[in-house]
Amino acid sequence: MTAFLLGRLAQAALVMLVMSVLVFLGVYAIGNPIDVLIDPAATQAMRAAIIRQYGLDLPLWQQYGHFLGNVLRGDFGNSFVFRIPVLPLILSRLPATLELTVLALLIAAAFGIPLGIWAGYRPEARSSRAIMALSTLGFSVPTFWIGLLLILFFTVELRWLPSGGRGPVGWLGLSIWTREGWTHLLLPALNLSLFKLGLLIRLVRAGTEEVMGSEHVRFARAQGLPERQVVGLHVLKNIGIPIVTIFGLEFGSTLAFAVVTETVFNWPGMGKLVIESITSLDRPVMVAYLILVVLLFVAINLFVELTYGLLDPRVRAR
Amino acid sequence: MNREALVEGWQEYRRSPVAVAALALVVAIALLALLAPWIAPQDPYDQSALDLMDARLEPGSIGSGEYVHWLGTDNAGRDLLSAILYGLRLSLAIAVTAGIVALTVGTAIGLSAAYYGGWFGAVAMRVVDLQLSLPAILLALVLVAVLGQGVPQLMAALVAAQYAYFARTAFGAASAERRKDYVEAALSTPLSGARVLWRHLLPNTLPPLIVVVTVQIATAISLEATLSFLGLGLPVTRPSLGLLIANGFQFMLSGRYWISVYPGIALMVTVLAINLVGDQLRQVINPRRRR
């Protein structure tokens, strides 16, 4: 197990290193940050001084070295727009994005798993076909468009829920403590969950269909176990691993997709911040966001693989 | 693929009436997009033809052009029906071009990784897998941020975000084919490696790739619309569907729903129809379902 763990950790570190090089080259080497930083009226001497101050006169690999050194110490520089250190800026937006993402995934799981099991258990039933149609609709229709429809329906027509923004923030920077917080949270979370819901239904259905046809389910039935137990115990256990994986992996991509939902619903999270940083060419924020998201992805992948190792000893042996 | 296989495939495809309807819809949408300059009542890119007096007219009203705006007009006074047809044309052109380029690049990488193997194959597929673990929207976002806005940049971003799916599929299919006897037989003849790749491996990996290309074109349309909606896609003067929706968004809360809703329906129907066709193609091609 230790060798497995060390191997995976080394791999994750390598991926992070490669990604940091790519992000650095992509964002820093293309285009010139000097024009953003320096007043066009500055004299040659001032220009040179600032270029030296930021280390922009050094060869590229040395610049990268500085960048990497700073990043490892948690220093991503200052935002060009907000004039404050980037890391605290991004982290201050993290709770908003996290609560949105987690709630979206919970909604997707709460509906997706039972619906998927039903559709896989009775693949020919009319209700199952309806579920599958819903699933296709869920990931065919672009997220931002569903968001607009939700606003049109629940805000403009019914006037039930606010169209955007975030409710009062309480403990841990979360807005889930008040009723008003929830009214703001509900629509964006629903919006973000629909794509995942569509995906989850398909995966659970495929898994259920496969397990239902297997020997051990037939055996369980032959034993005379009630159907509820067959599905609840034998089927659920066997589709468990893929669901854990998908959940882990989708957490990261949901976080990335939150960019769209946050823009539609004017939700003050990390995604909205990064869109603003792209339109205002705020490079340090872009770089820090990307590196943090990739770090998150690598960490999640690692975690999922390790969970695999725990759930299924065959993975460790490989 | 020979004639017989095509006929048989069509027989299989035809078994779902929904899929047949979806295919008809895709063909109709493609025709509408292709013929947009001839059937649209107005050229929405011609700024001089736009009259601000006509802005935000309700569907069915008659503007200064003295023809009926069946779907109303947008905030710049564009006839929405014309804008949608042109937007569809632009969105489809970008998505299809990006899809074909991504197909070519991805298949080339996947096939050569499967054929040559070794460290090249290992590294290439490792990169592809890494990229697949990141969501396409994130990659596209980064690339648009780095490259700037415009049609070529947008296409580059779409290709870079999508080639990996083709590479993975081509690699999987070609690795399975590579082990079969006919490839061994072809390799034992004095034919060049490139010829074996091109004439023997490629045709046999095409069916799954066709499914992926359908799905990826739908994804590209929705990705492009999303980027344009976020203000990172195309310039405002040539609105694609995503931009039309974004423009209408601000008027939605005041009840002028049509500026956003009609382009949105066009987008939704297009993506859905293509996905349904892709779903059925997958069923037809799926070897497990073949007798």
Q: How far is CA B59 from the centre of its chain?
A: 29
> Which of B25, B84, B133 should be substituted to probe chain A, the one whose Cβ sees the most A Cβ atoms within 10 Å?
B133
Residue A117 amino acid letter: I
Given this model, what pLDDT does residue A54 score?
67
User: Does B276 sit within 8 Å of A259, measured CB to CB?
Assistant: no
Q: Say yes or no: A163 contacts chain B, CB-CB below 8 A.
A: yes
Tell me what the mean pLDDT of segment B226-255 comes to.
78
Closest in A15, A259, A286 to B137, CB measured? A259
ipTM associated with this complex: 0.77
User: Does A155 sit within 8 Å of B230, measured CB to CB?
Assistant: no
pLDDT-above-90 percentage for chain A: 0
**Between these two residues, B170 and B133, which has the higher pLDDT value?**
B170
> Which of B138, B228, B279 should be substituted to probe chain A, the one whose Cβ sees the most A Cβ atoms within 10 Å?
B138
Query: Directed axis angle between helix B80-116 and helix B17-34, to 10°?
Result: 110
User: Does B229 sit within 8 Å of A260, measured CB to CB?
Assistant: yes
Given this model, what pLDDT does residue A318 score?
45
| B52 pLDDT more than 60 | yes
From chain B, which residues contact A within 8 Å (Cβ)? 130, 133-135, 137-138, 141-142, 144-147, 218, 222, 225-226, 229-232, 242, 245, 249, 252-253, 255, 257, 260-261, 264, 267-268, 271-272, 275-276, 279
CA distance A166 to A258: 14
User: Does A274 sit within 8 Å of B141, measured CB to CB?
Assistant: yes
Tell me what the mean pLDDT of segment B246-273 comes to.
82
For residue B68, give Cα distances in angstroms to B59, B247, B251: 8, 22, 21
Instruction: Give tens-digit pLDDT for B1-48.
Output: 567 777 887 888 888 888 888 889 999 999 988 887 887 777 777 766
Q: Which residue has the tokens 């992805």?
A: A297
Confidence of residue B102 (pLDDT cuts 50, 70, 90): very high
DSSP string, A1-21: -HHHHHHHHHHHHHHHHHHHH
Chain B closest-CA separation from residue A226 CA (Å): 31
User: Does A274 sit within 8 Å of B279, measured CB to CB?
Assistant: no
Looking at chain A from residue 232 to 251, which residues have their Cβ under 8 Å from any Cβ of chain B? Answer: 249
| B53 pLDDT more than 70 | no
**A-chain residues within 8 Å CB-CB of B147?**
30
| B71 pLDDT more than 80 | no
- For chain A, list residues with pLDDT below 70: 1, 26-41, 54-56, 168, 170, 173, 176, 308-309, 311-318
CA distance B9 to B6: 5
Least confident of A41-50, A265-274, B59-68, B277-286: B59-68
Residue B7 amino acid letter: V
CA distance B204 to B210: 11
Q: Which residue has the tokens 């690598």?
A: A298
Tokens of B23: 């295919």
The conformation of residue B234, written as its DSSP 8-state character, comes to S
Closest in A163, A278, A297 to B134, CB measured? A297
Residue B164 amino acid letter: A
User: Does A301 sit within 8 Å of B145, measured CB to CB?
Assistant: no
Of all residues in chain A, the one with the smallest CA distance to B255 is A156
Given this model, what pLDDT does residue A217 score?
76
Closest in A27, A156, A253 to B252, CB measured? A156
Residue B215 contacts by C-beta under 8 Å, 6 or more apart in sequence?
B274, B275, B278
Tokens of A208: 């259920």
**B-chain residues within 8 Å CB-CB of A286?**
142, 145
CA distance A189 to A257: 11
Given this model, what pLDDT does residue B155 score?
87
User: Does A151 sit within 8 Å of B253, measured CB to CB?
Assistant: yes
Residue B232 amino acid letter: L
Q: Which residue has the tokens 């990739």?
A: A294
CA distance B21 to B12: 15
For residue A178, give Cα distances in angstroms to A167, A193, A270, B200: 8, 21, 22, 64
Of all residues in chain A, the one with the smallest CA distance to B216 is A140
Query: Directed axis angle between helix A86-121 and helix A270-279, to 10°?
Result: 120
Residue A96 amino acid letter: A
Closest in A137, A143, A286 to B272, CB measured? A137
Tokens of A61: 């690999």
Strand-pair category, B68-69 with B61-62: antiparallel
Instruction: Give tens-digit pLDDT for B184-209.
Output: 777 777 777 777 777 777 777 787 88
pLDDT-above-90 percentage for chain B: 5
Let me know: does B68 contact B190? Beta carbons within 8 Å. no
Residue B79 β-bridge partners: B73
Chain A closest-CA separation from residue B197 CA (Å): 31
User: Does B133 sit within 8 Å of A286, measured CB to CB?
Assistant: no
Counting one residue from A and one from B, how many pairs have CB atoms under 8 Å apart?
Answer: 99
Instruction: Give tens-digit pLDDT for A256-268.
Output: 778 888 888 888 8
Category of B64 on φ-ψ map: left (φ > 0), alpha (ψ -120 to 50) or beta:
alpha
Given this model, what pLDDT does residue B290 score?
45
DSSP three-state, residue B24: helix
Residue B69 β-bridge partners: B61
User: Does B230 sit within 8 Å of A260, measured CB to CB?
Assistant: yes
Burial class (CB in 10 A: 0-12, 13-18, 19+), B107: buried
Tokens of B25: 């819809």
CA B255, B259, B262, B264 torsion-angle sign: negative
Taking alpha carbons only, the member of A266, A251, A260 closest to residue A297 is A251
Let me know: does A189 contact A104? Beta carbons within 8 Å. yes
CA A139, A141, A144, A147 torsion-angle sign: negative
Chain A closest-CA separation from residue B163 CA (Å): 18
Q: Say yes or no: A12 contacts chain B, CB-CB below 8 A.
A: no
CA R_g for chain A = 24
